[in-house]
A and B are shown apart, each in its own frame.
Chain A
Amino acid sequence: MTGLAADRRTFLKGLGLLGAATLVPGCATSTKSPGSGSAATGELSLQSNLSSEQAKAAMEKLVAAYNKTGGSQVKLNTVAAEIFRTQLPTYLTSANPPDVYTWYAGSVADSYAKKDLLLDVTSVWDSMGNYSKAMQSLSTSSAGQKIFVPTSYYWWGMFYRKSNFAKWGVTPPKTWAEFVAVCKTIQSKGIPPIGIGLGDTPWVASAWFDYLNIRINGAPFHRKLLAGEGDFTDPKVKAVFTKWREVLPYFDPKGKSFPFQEATSALLAGKTGMFLIGTFFADSAPKDALDDIDFFQFPIIDPAVPVAEEAPTDGYFASKKVKDPEGTKKFLTWLATPEAQNIYVQSSSGTAIPANPDGKSADTALVKKGKAMIEGAAEITQFFNRDSSDALQPTADAALTKFLDKPDQIDKILADWQAAAQKVFKAGA
């Protein structure tokens, strides 16, 4: 009998422990409603991957400005970029998903539209007539619906330090032959001419593949190849690597071991000559070095091929399951206005260009030059992963890293790449 009583006491003690445990976090969480839900109060949740200090502050400013305009209140929820990337499919497929998301235009957004996860925002585009054709097609799903609202873009280029180029006596090249000559000159000064950073950031090599492919074979071929309608064993693809081999000896041999951020430091310190990278690298440059930075367009290889440039476009899409479609569309319409984009561009790092042609980009020579280059391009591509899918990117990383190590095994590497890509395309279909 006593045993039974004691048993019950232990049990109660256990229960008490359980109760106490659930109560503690209960206090902490009950003060704030969960990040999503609560459609009745007209609250929208915005899931953002812009977690770096400056970008996060810019987003907070943007949301605060919208909340002042009345209408639905937007609640910003910033998640680490790396977590966001891996969890985005989970967010979108959950029963109670966040409403609006920061993400990329192009195939990568379309891959979610194909799974019927995105809100049709065609009506938002009624107010966006002034956007360029390229932006429109980037925001249209393969089913013909508008699913994306672009808000800013940036560009890729061959960046260098003006003072170093002056010191070495070289001028920015325009053609491939001039480029190779510049590489030779810089190497003769004992400096590795082409910087790269592949440790932890192997995707940086894809920029070389993208650019060589769009310069040699043109943007339409490039897009088809990335969409699974081509073949990586195609002789035209091999031609890309043959061209690449011509400049391979000029790559910084240390570039394989450190990430692109360290490669940026190497460029700024004059340990490498030039660096093919997106403008986001400027965030990792000391402010006093920025004035000395310039870029040139990736050299022209075949003048007969219409010039294409890489200009990755960022923006927003919304979940199909939003609780308040009208409120969501109103918010997206506001995000597409030049006012909203100016707020973001001014408070963020300053190299992003507003997607709205009426928006104001930063008034620096560098940004003006970049904007002019993109506007003058006949075709725009995004970037390897954005023109294909996040699933195809690792196959490119594996193939390109191997190529940089063992360029003479190119036939086998391309065959392996094709096999790996085939698997990705089959899984997606």
Chain B
Amino acid sequence: MIRRTGYHVAMSIVSFLWVAPILWVVVISFRSFDDVAANGLGSLPHSFTFSTYKSAWEDADEFRALINSLLVTIPAVLLSLGLASIAAYGLARYSIPFRRTILLLMLMGNLLPPQILLIPISRFVELIGYYDTLIALIAVHVGFGLGFYTFVLHGFMRDLPREIQEAATIDGAGPGRIYSSVILPLTRPALAALGALSFTWIFNDLLWSITVIRSGEKMPVTPALLGLQGLFVSSWNVIAAGTVIAAVPTVAVFLRFQKHFVGGLAIGAVK
């Protein structure tokens, strides 16, 4: 009994530590600028206001930034998962020559730190005339995600029983049919987990958006939040409010796919 209580107390403290920074941001987001400036960020709130949310929404043009983010994130997630699942299907279910090498090669690309690719990518995107477009950003995200997603999906698909595929072949289904009617539905938990994960990654990306996009009105939400920081002085309360707003889509996706997410992780981990 004592052990149980001890466990709960300890875990409560740990969870509180985990949640505290987020709570702090939420608290700051409701404070007025003069309160923050006079009492410092760390003090207890002396004011309560919703105006920070209004100014984050209007001044940072957060609505447009969120739309931009979704315009990039949704196609990028669908496209990269679609392509990765096709690649993983081929590599996992058919004896393609050098398939191990291909897979490792794709994964190797992910081991490179993205920073060393910044300049080549910005120059290349400019060369093909797609600099400062959302299409370029989608392409970059798809390209970078593909290796890892294929690797994960490959591991998952390889473990699906051989008999299912054989039965489908006997019933007259070709590789395409088997992919769309048999393998893909069975891969759903992994796809959902990866979908939630890649949504967060792409939505929260800052590096690539500032590399390939130059116009303020095309910036996704992360650089728009950075734009709330002035050259010298920043209204942290407005930034906090903007951050809270920007967190809503990712939290929503996570809540929606939570079950799959945890399940998918376990499936991938224990073979």
Contacts and interface: CB of A to CB of B under 8 A. Distances in A.
A28 B67 contact: yes
B37 A285 contact: yes
A265 B215 contact: no
A265 B37 CA distance: 5
Nearest to B177: A6
Nearest to B174: A3
27 contacts: A6-B173, A6-B174, A6-B175, A6-B177, A7-B174, A18-B79, A24-B74, A25-B133, A28-B67, A35-B215, A51-B227, A51-B228, A52-B234, A53-B238, A79-B214, A80-B223, A81-B231, A82-B229, A87-B210, A91-B214, A94-B126, A261-B232, A265-B38, A269-B39, A281-B233, A284-B234, A285-B37
A70 B225 CA distance: 34
B221 to A, nearest CB: 12
B177 A21 contact: no
Interface in A273-300: 278, 280-281, 283-289
A49 B231 contact: yes
A409 interface: no
A90 interface: yes
B20 interface: no
Task: Tell me what chain B mostly uses at the interface: helix, strand, loop, or mixed.
Answer: helix
A364 interface: no
B114 interface: no
B235 A17 contact: no
Interface in B63-90: 67-68, 71-72, 74-76, 78-79, 82-83, 86
B227 A17 contact: no
Contacts of B110: none
Given A25-B71, A286-B34, A17 B79 contact: yes
How many B residues touch the partner, as a band?
A: 35 or more
How many A residues touch the partner, as a band?
A: 35 or more
Task: Tell me what chain A mostly uses at the interface: helix, strand, loop, or mixed.
Answer: helix
B26 interface: no
A2 interface: yes
A188 B6 CA distance: 48
B192 interface: no
Interface of B: 33-34, 36-41, 55, 59, 67-68, 71-72, 74-76, 78-79, 82-83, 86, 119, 122, 126-127, 131-135, 138, 172-177, 179-180, 210, 214-219, 223-224, 226-236, 238
Contacts of B134: 25, 28-29
Interface string A86-109: 110011001110100000000000
Nearest to A91: B214
Contact of B71 (A28, A86, A289): A28
A25 B133 CA distance: 8
Given A6-B176, A52-B230, A83-B226, A14 B131 contact: no
A26 interface: yes
B222 to A, nearest CB: 10
